[in-house]
Amino acid sequence: MSWWLGGVFYALVVLAVFFLSGSLPPSYLLATLALAGGALIFRSAIDSQFKKTGLSATLEALEKMGRDEDIGGIYLEGEWAPLGEAVRRTAGFTVERLRDLQEEKSKLETILAHMVDGVVLFSARKRVLLLNPAAEGILGVGREMIGARGLELYRHLPLDEALDRVLASGVGTTLEVRLYHPGEKDLQVFLSPVRGGDEGKPSGVLLVLRDVSQERAVEKMRREFVADVTHELQTPLTSILGYVETLQEGVEDAATRERFLGVVQVEAKRLSRLLDDLLDLSRIQAGVLSYRQDLLDLGATVRDVAGRFRPRAEQDGRCLELHLPDEPLPVRGDADRLGQVLWNLLVNADKYTPAGGGIRVRVGKDGPWATVAVEDDGVGIPAEELPRIFDRFYRVDKGRSRQSGGTGLGLPIARGIVEAHGGRVEARSKVGKGSEFIVRLPLHKEEQSG
């Protein structure tokens, strides 16, 4: 009787597969159980009547099918032949169906494994049923969280409350949350109910996590940039408008009139520099600023820029020292743009160095790099300010910078040009001791190999 039970069991498994895949309603499965019981009674009644007849062969075939053995050699004759053919068709269809299910399962696993967004499936009791690799990375957890409660996974009470609402109402929702573990990040969260529960209630909730931290950071930078540009434009424009209105009312004293016109000219030039710097910076950041790729002697480029800047430094009471190597330092780049970098660094050093102080420029070689160091005897930069000095419009001493006509864009432009040449720029400083800016550019390959 055991082989007969195996056949019946196999038939039940086949129908169960159809039920789980959604092809059959639950009532069909209950009917199958009833039929199986009737089949057992029927088998007991006729067992003594048939030996190796068509029915016996059919039962043997079912037994072999249950053991996953080949049944191709068994043939059913007479009135049982149609039943044998039906069994073979059913077996073939079942195998094909199982293969399709396995293929769909593999596709789903592949999709989940390669999704950028995190996917988490919760049960109706808020237990984690599924967790893809992206979700593990976003939440800083591993596979051990399967079976854990939702709050243990995301550690965010408003998100947990949203999960409760979706389970209670069966209506999906979207919200944005900020998580602080394993690091601070902004997430856009989509919650969708999983249908199929009792009385129309959700049997679970599908959670999709999208990391929007970078987008929010860009939006914040854009808002700050607009605010900074507005402020920078407003200051000189207010000054210009004030003096123009005064002149329009009539100023009899010629000296006063000339002084007012001089202020208007200075502020207008400041506006022009600001717009030029903004245009340069936007082109640099967009990657559309073109650069020549000439073979240059970096020492000669520095000597030319320092020579043009020396009169200004001496006029302001600063001593400019220049230290150049004996041998040429060949680099590939745009002489005008690299000269702009050095000019911006010299202007910055001159701005923060008191009268009587010194500015030193050293050109040298450090492994595969050609280096230019600009050192000053200025007021120095606090350690907490150093990471921000290359930000747009950032000034350590805002009053001093504006008085000297600075736009707050010189250092960001310098860094952008250096990085476009494959180099980098760094800053060192001590309050009250001065600052040093070091530019590193890759030496020409022949020089590196030499």
Q: Active-site positions?
A: 231
Residue 20: CB atoms within 10 A of its CB come to 11
CB burial string 276-295: b at 16+ within 10 A, e below: ebbebbeebeeeebeeeeee
Tokens 């002489």, residue?
Answer: 335
Rama region for 296: left / alpha / beta (φ>0; ψ in -120 to 50; rest): beta
Measure the CA–CA gap between 189 and 22, rounded to whole angstroms. 29
Q: What SS3 state is found at 333? A: strand
Q: At what angle do helices 54-66 and 81-114 cross, to 10 degrees?
A: 10
Which DSSP string corresponds to 393-412? Answer: T--SSHHHHHHTT--S-HHH
Residue 144: CB atoms within 10 A of its CB come to 8
For residue 315, give the H/E element and its range.
helix 298-315
Measure the CA–CA gap between 432 and 417, rounded to whole angstroms. 29
